[in-house]
Amino acid sequence: MPTNLRDHLATNDAEPALADLIVTVVDTCSEISALVRRGALGEIMGALESENVQGEVQKKLDVISNDMLLQRCAASAGLVAMASEEMDDIHPVRDLTPKGGYLLLFDPLDGSSNIDVNVSIGTIFSILPAPMADAPRPAALADFLQKGRAQVAAGYVVYGPQTTLVLTLGDGVHAFTLDPDTGDWLQTSAGITIPPETKEYAINASNLRHWAPAVRGYVEVCLAGETGPRGKNFNMRWIASMVADVHRIMMRGGVFLYPWDAREPERAGKLRLMYEANPMSLLVEQAGGAAFDGHGAILDAEVTDLHQRISVMLGSRAEVAHIERLHQSA
Ligand code: P6P
């Protein structure tokens, strides 16, 4: 009988408050999955009048998912505060104490523009250690501004043909699939490793004219295939749902690029560091891959703002190393 998530966490000696927080997040994702599956039957499709801090039109399910995570995770005893793509400010839950605890960050429904067209979407989450405080005090924004390498756990749930959790606690990457009959999360992969080589890249090619020379050169050589300097043909995928594109890479290799582009030069890219790039980069590195931001490892990127954006190039280690060399020689 496959291991379930609770037994996996217990077997791997996960700190009890961390295990409880992870189980609470994932059980909430079970409920989000049920809403996603109902689609138009559930009257939760479509957009709201509101915009999030990113200036993106919020889908009903974005806000519903966000509120579900806030409400349910607040009960997890080790949780000090939360932050979300859908909220301008942090969401304090309980005071920091000398015992420490955890900070939870999430993109409650990444790829939500795909909801109305029935394409896979997902929830991404990151867990950071809460600082210890000599005297009890509420968490502050500055407590969240930790580099990605400080994460104690990261994961995503992809709402696709299967509902699957991919999780790391810093000691390898494992996958659990939701059994729709029992509601249990059963382990379906242990010790996921990303093949170091690949012939498959994922990028929104319509942005080619906006990219930096290194990225444009990389993609043009891929397009040249066996007639070009690398002498091999490549395949391209772009689901426009980071969770779905990254899950494919976790399962069969590849590289995912959402690089800086000239449309908004002051922004490092489109994707957010704290609750998209950092959790995905920890998962990818733990699976033997690499995650690069155009200058260095994403997990080492300086953090200055909760909603800062970053250029993302991640996946098969040898291919990311090739992309890094192109940046160094540009
Ligand atoms: P584009 C979804 O909105 C998202 O944040 C990621 O999930 C996805 O990879 C990217 O944006 C898609 O962006 O510009 O291709 O629509």
pLDDT tens across 159-206, in order? 999 999 999 999 999 999 999 999 999 999 999 999 999 999 999 999
**What is the reported pLDDT for 113?**
81
pLDDT digits (tens, 9 = 90+) for 298-314: 999 999 999 999 999 99
Index of the ligand 1 atom closest to the CA of residue 239: 9
**What is the reported pLDDT for 10?**
93
How many A from CA of 309 to the centre of ligand 1?
13
Index of the ligand 1 atom closest to the CA of residue 256: 9
- pTM, to two decimals: 0.96
Q: Ligand 1 — pocket residues by CB below 6 A?
A: 110-111, 113, 204, 240-242, 245, 258, 270-271
Q: What average pLDDT does range 150-157 have in this prediction?
A: 98
**What is the reported pLDDT for 55?**
67
Q: What percent of the chain has pLDDT over 70?
A: 95
- CB neighbours of residue 77 within 10 Å: 12
Residue having the nearest C-alpha atom to atom 9 of ligand 1: 242
Average pLDDT of the chain is: 94
User: Regarding the domain delimited by 200-329, which CATH topology (the fold level of the hierarchy) does it fall under?
Assistant: D-Maltodextrin-Binding Protein; domain 2 (3.40.190)
Kindly tell me if the per-residue pLDDT of 47 is higher than 70: no
Instruction: Kindly indicate whether the domain formed by 5-189 is annotated with CATH number 3.30.540.10.
Output: yes
CATH 3.40.190.80 boundaries in the chain: 200-329
**What is the reported pLDDT for 44?**
64
Q: Which residues fall in the annotated binding site?
A: 85, 107, 109-113, 204, 270, 276
Provide the CA 166 distance to its chain's centre, in angstroms: 10
Kindly tell me if the per-residue pLDDT of 40 is higher than 90: no
Beta strands 47-51 and 57-59: pairing type?
antiparallel
Index of the ligand 1 atom closest to the CA of residue 113: 3
pLDDT digits (tens, 9 = 90+) for 283-299: 999 999 999 999 999 99
Ligand 1 pocket test: which of 245, 258, 309 has the largest number of ligand atoms within 8 Å of its C-beta?
258
Q: Which residues fall in the annotated binding site for Mg(2+)?
A: 85, 107, 109-110, 276
CA angle 199, 204, 210 (to 5 degrees): 115
Q: Which residues fall in the annotated binding site for substrate?
A: 110-113, 204, 270
**Contact (CB, 8 A) for 242 and 276:** yes
Residue having the nearest C-alpha atom to atom 10 of ligand 1: 240
CATH 3.30.540.10 boundaries in the chain: 5-189
